[in-house]
Chain A
Amino acid sequence: MIRRAPWWFPPISYVGIGAGVVLVSFFHPWSPTPLLPFAVTAQLALLLVMVRVMWKWPPFAAWLAAMPWAHRIVLGALMLGIFWGHYTFNGRTYFPFVVWEIFPHAEGNTDVVTAQQFYGKTMSGKKVRLLVEREFPSIIQIDRIETLDSAYGPGTTDHLAQALAKMYNANHPGDPVRAVDLVQTSVNLHPPAGESRNEPSWKLLKSYEISPAPSR
């Protein structure tokens, strides 16, 4: 027979969990860094509360209880994987058990947002945007262009410009790109009232000549 916890136990247990979060994340006289960062302990505590509620909900509890042991292992392994990838903050190693973060913080306290972009000039004089995610559709999202040289080594931005032009030309042999411009675009987050622009401000950073592909 399962004994029910007294009425005062759940609130006290939640106060205890809250105190534990504060102690683990902010009280660390023996070391310069906390045992676990607040981002981990607070998320974990909130998640445990939700899991507990689910666990105690009779239809879910009955569903779990009726589940054979092999199925329970599968459910447990998948849940463990998703938590492990998230709370180790090392989603690249444990992929597909990744860190679930989408816009977890503000992009900086700037009034102007900037981004670098590639534009191609075709043989007919047309200006085309060269996007990594379009020329290489397998790539869902590439790093910011402005970080490439520091992240992957000097010259990566130049190599990427050439790769984009080569791929564009392979798919548009009738009107290939003959030059690629690296530009920096910027948008003011607080424009004057009534301002209406047709395109963001932009500044040319670098130009690349693209040699025609050798004929086969």
Chain B
Amino acid sequence: MEAAEKLRNLTGPFALIHEQAGPRLLALTRLGIFALWIVKLLLDPVWRLADMPPEMVRPVGVLNLFSPTALGALFNELGLMRMWDCALVVVICCLPQTRWLIGTALRYTLAAIVLTVYSSVIRSFGPAVHTDIVLLLATYALALFAWADLFSPRAPGRYSYPLITIVLLLTLAYTLVGLNRLVTGGPGVFAGPTMTSWAVDASLRGYYFNTGIGWRVPQWPFVNFMLQAGLPGITVFEIAAPLCVAWPRFRWVFIPVMLSFHALSLVFMNIFFFDDMLLYLLLIDWSRKFPDMRRVDG
């Protein structure tokens, strides 16, 4: 009994995140997600892709449904500019919050469609990497739950559904990455100079954020050890990520550990998931801390 009590003191309480979320928290989340898309679009001169060698275009996802003529019309400077304009206008239209449920559902759905096309276009060059995919799935969640709200507009927990789903999607993505590494790579990934090899390889290859530091890791024994020893720990945190949905104390360990991991990935591997890092704001149970964010009956 005493041991159980000690364990309970150690783990602290368990509570479903965002269970008490109210309309204000959902509105802020919607605003944040669409504002993030606007920033991403404004920073992206997507029309430059028209100057990439055409043989490097490998359509991704929904673009495979396009006819060759439609793809030709899309992958030129004018087509890409029009797509960018369209995406920007549609996402800006998603910023105002209205009480008109069907209007909200329609706007968000349109945004999900244009952002899917945009995300597919930019991934038609190179591998389908994970940056901003959870953000896109979060947009799907906002759109689809807006439609579901039409059928149950008075459901008491309707503000919490998209929020908890987004947290589930974010954490599930980590879990799948961790499980995949554990099962596909096996113990070999965690032994030997695997992490050093990845850091050097990513550093030599470059990417947008090119710190030019990672290739020096073999020369720095402490950093080398830190990266290699950190990989199993990070994989454990990735696999355990869904605990964030239920365990507040775990979240307070998970957030700094994973933010540090993302910061180190930027420094040594030039890889930066800034969208995911901003989505970490949803790992804070705002409605428990601020009564304004709570639903009225909560």
Contacts and interface: CB of A to CB of B under 8 A. Distances in A.
Interface of A: 38-39, 42-43, 46-47, 50, 54, 57, 59-60, 63, 66-71, 73-75, 77-79, 82, 86, 91-96, 98-108, 110, 113-115, 117, 129, 131-144, 148, 152-153, 156, 159-160, 163, 166-167, 185, 187-191, 195-197, 200
A75 B161 contact: yes
B208 A101 contact: no
A143 B126 CA distance: 5
Contacts of B155: 66-68, 71
B207 A141 contact: yes
Contacts of B120: 95
29 contacts: A43-B176, A59-B14, A59-B15, A59-B16, A59-B19, A66-B155, A66-B156, A70-B148, A78-B165, A82-B169, A82-B172, A95-B60, A95-B62, A96-B116, A98-B133, A105-B184, A107-B197, A136-B48, A138-B45, A140-B122, A141-B129, A156-B56, A163-B52, A163-B53, A166-B51, A185-B204, A189-B218, A191-B218, A195-B219
B198 interface: yes
A95 B219 CA distance: 39
Given A68-B148, A100-B173, A138-B49, A74 B141 contact: yes
Given A107-B197, A107-B198, 14 more contacts: A43-B176, A43-B179, A54-B245, A66-B155, A75-B165, A78-B141, A78-B144, A82-B137, A101-B184, A103-B185, A107-B194, A131-B210, A140-B126, A196-B219
B200 A68 contact: no
A108 B200 CA distance: 13
Contact of B19 (A63, A91, A115, A185): A63
A105 B185 contact: yes
A137 B43 contact: yes
Contacts of B49: 136, 138-139
A73 B150 CA distance: 13
Nearest to B193: A189
A153 B185 contact: no
Interface residues of B, number: 90
Nearest to A51: B242
A185 B52 CA distance: 24
Contacts, number: 252
Interface of B: 14-16, 19, 43-46, 48-49, 51-53, 55-56, 58, 60-62, 64, 116, 119-123, 125-131, 133, 136-137, 140-141, 144-145, 147-148, 150-152, 155-158, 160-161, 164-165, 168-169, 172-173, 175-177, 179-181, 183-185, 188-189, 192-194, 196-198, 200-201, 204-208, 210, 215-216, 218-219, 239, 242, 245-246
B55 A129 contact: no
B239 to A, nearest CB: 8
A119 B294 CA distance: 55
Nearest to B61: A95
Contacts of A60: 16, 245-246
B219 A197 contact: yes
A163 B56 CA distance: 12
A110 B242 CA distance: 36
Contact of A129 (B156, B192, B210): B210
Given A59-B19, A200-B204, A105 B188 contact: yes
Contacts of A195: 219
Contacts of A166: 51
A39 B184 contact: yes
Given A66-B157, A96-B137, A98-B128, A187 B184 contact: no
